[in-house]
Chain A
Amino acid sequence: MTTTTPTSPSPSATSATTTGASRTARRPRRRSTGRRSTPLTIVMLAVLAYFLLPLFWLAISATKSTQDLFTSFGLWFSHTPQLLENIRETFTHDDGVFLHWLLNTVLYSVGSAIGAALLAAAAGYGFAKYRFRGNNAAFALILGAIMIPTTALAIPTYLLFAKVDLVNTPWAIVLPSLVSPFGLYLMRVYAADAVPDSLLEAARIDGAGELRIFFTIAMRLLAPGLVTVVLFTLVATWNNYFLPLIMLNDPKLYPVTVGLSSWASQAVGGGSGANSNMLALVVTGSLISIIPLVVAFLLLQRYWQSGLATGGVKQ
């Protein structure tokens, strides 16, 4: 982005520890004085309530049968909670296809995220630390790609993949997700900051080859930025709906997003016949599907901040 000229050394550059644990700032936490504003806190708690309301509704609703969903009050439990029954039915419906969906999602997103982060790290490091012909042109080209709408790409990608028999395979989901232009941008800024040239020089003088320097020295310094890109891609792939929707037609290969939406369309208006309890399954399945990612987030959230603070948001 035009305005981000990373000036080194930055005040926020993550201290180059080899532990991989990132601390956003080396300065003491600021302004932790006793001045607290109760009115502001109350306003923000009201805001928080808005953001948590749908999740609260989802957790409550996962304990209800489809009939109770229609008849009992949405924001409180019904008289006959049946969470375990719902979970059991979610996992057994359609020969246990829901578990397949969960595993597919984990496979696609974790595979894509790790692959994308490694590719972005290597390329970002290459762009930041080496001068070669076409360096700036190639980088500018990739940055321009951030603006290309992924959905505008998805349909032609589908047509191309159909020609080489890649549609309806996991590769159709993983390959496009391996390239993260924004991840590359973050890694380039991060590498410029976190890997000191003097260290590379010292390693060269000691006779280490370039690949060895990258894998033994640079990778350690890049770790916090790497985690940020992993998280970023993980969420993007986990939440991806358009790409798998067009690429896959075998329900066994669906990620959980496409699976749930297919159930949801069967459940419209309470469903009928064999689908009469679908609504409860969609709700319970939704709850189960968001738990892993929410937990991962809460555990890893500080990496987000450190990575974003270093990449692209500095003066």
Chain B
Amino acid sequence: MTATTVASTEEPRRAGPKSRRLGGLRQGAAGPLFVAPFMVLFLLVFLAPLGYAAYLSLFREKLIGGNAFVGLDNYVTALKDPLLREGVVRVATFFVIQVPLMLVLALVFALALDSGLLRLARVIRLGIFVPYAVPSVVATLMWGYLYGPDYGPFAQLSEKLGLPVPHFLSDGWMLGSLANVVTWEFVGYNMIILYAALRTVPQELYEAAAMDGAGAWRTAWSIKLPALRPALLLTLLFSVIGSFQLFNEPKLLQPIAPDVIDNSYTANLYAYSLAFTGQQVNYSAAVSFFLGLIIVIFSYAVLFFANRRRTS
């Protein structure tokens, strides 16, 4: 993360802060002043809750004697908790299936749009991107109704054609159905990021490739894909963070599939129900913290492998 070094061609070191007052603000004090409002709020809404969660996770409500310090006991419980393990394994499975699918689709669409071979490219680009503007609540409700076994159009069509009705909301299909909702929501967003990165490839590179006799496929492989590396890494990181936090979609499908999606279906759903229906605030804080830790570890693993491959 720290390697975002802005190239040293800019901002030559100034020889010390200017002591002349210019318009009521010295240059030396200006930098921290611009950064301060953001930093203050950052401390308030990021670091304070994090610290508080860490603090809470070390205590437990005892029936006798109220709040007692229990050290890492909550974490030991979390590690052994089968419900949490199932939830984490489930989101990990979701990640392994859904994210490659989504990113490959986004990549293919971005390359297709950038190839200049499409008619109606603008319409197609906007149409694929539009779902990102649809709140996940609405997206999930819509798909939930579309999946519906009694009045969903897919069920209606299967009945008309005399085929078996697909049970999108059954135990075996649910993870795939959720993956479909998330993919529908975010392919366009990832596609736009990749497409924007493709647009920054200098035209000269393409001209040079054409001079060397490279065809469209060769150009895509040797010029476009390497140019997309940082953008792909960015989308992959966001996807790690998003998948492990899976909450909205299962939470919203819960009312129509209560037998399949229980209160510990995903790790986040579990943390939520611990805090708000189980009133186990301390344990919920430990679970949240634990989940955050898993996400950070995964994110760094992604970064680490990406960088190792670069240097080798």
Contacts and interface: CB of A to CB of B under 8 A. Distances in A.
Interface of A: 1-8, 10-12, 24-25, 27, 30-33, 35-38, 40-41, 44-45, 47-48, 50-55, 57-58, 61, 69-71, 73-75, 119-120, 122-123, 125-132, 135-136, 138-140, 142-153, 155-160, 175-176, 178-179, 181, 184-185, 188-189, 192, 197, 204, 207-212, 214, 235, 238-239, 241-242, 246, 256-258, 260-261, 264-265, 268, 282-283, 286, 289-290, 293-294, 296-298, 301, 304-306, 308-309, 312-315
A2 B77 CA distance: 35
Contact of A264 (B48, B139, B252): B252
A148 B177 CA distance: 27
Nearest to A292: B133
Interface string B186-203: 011000110111011011
B247 interface: yes
Given A5-B7, A51-B188, A156-B52, A31 B116 contact: yes
Interface stretch (B58-66, B93-101, B168-176, B303-311): B303-311
B217 interface: no
A2 B37 contact: no
Given A150-B245, A151-B288, A155-B53, 16 more contacts: A8-B6, A48-B127, A50-B184, A127-B35, A131-B11, A145-B42, A147-B237, A148-B295, A148-B296, A197-B11, A210-B23, A235-B133, A257-B138, A290-B134, A294-B133, A305-B199
A3 B247 contact: no
A147 B118 CA distance: 37
22 contacts: A1-B234, A3-B3, A24-B199, A40-B112, A40-B118, A54-B139, A123-B38, A127-B35, A145-B42, A152-B295, A175-B44, A178-B41, A211-B30, A212-B23, A246-B276, A286-B138, A286-B142, A297-B132, A301-B126, A305-B195, A313-B196, A315-B229
B128 A210 contact: no
A210 B310 contact: no
B251 to A, nearest CB: 8
B275 interface: yes
Interface string B278-312: 00010011001101100110010001001100100
A197 B9 CA distance: 11
Nearest to B252: A261
A3 B233 contact: yes
Contact of A260 (B5, B41, B132, B137): B137
A126 B116 contact: no
B288 A155 contact: yes
A144, A176, A235, A264 interface centre (most CB from chain B within 10 Å): A264
A47 B128 contact: yes
Nearest to B181: A54
Contacts of A265: 255
A178 B128 contact: no
Contacts of B227: 315
B49 A54 contact: no
B152 interface: yes
A148 B42 contact: no
Nearest to B293: A152
A31 B52 CA distance: 55
A310 B251 CA distance: 36
B77 to A, nearest CB: 17
Contact of A268 (B10, B187, B247, B255): B255
A41 B109 CA distance: 11
A270 to B, nearest CB: 9
Nearest to A57: B146
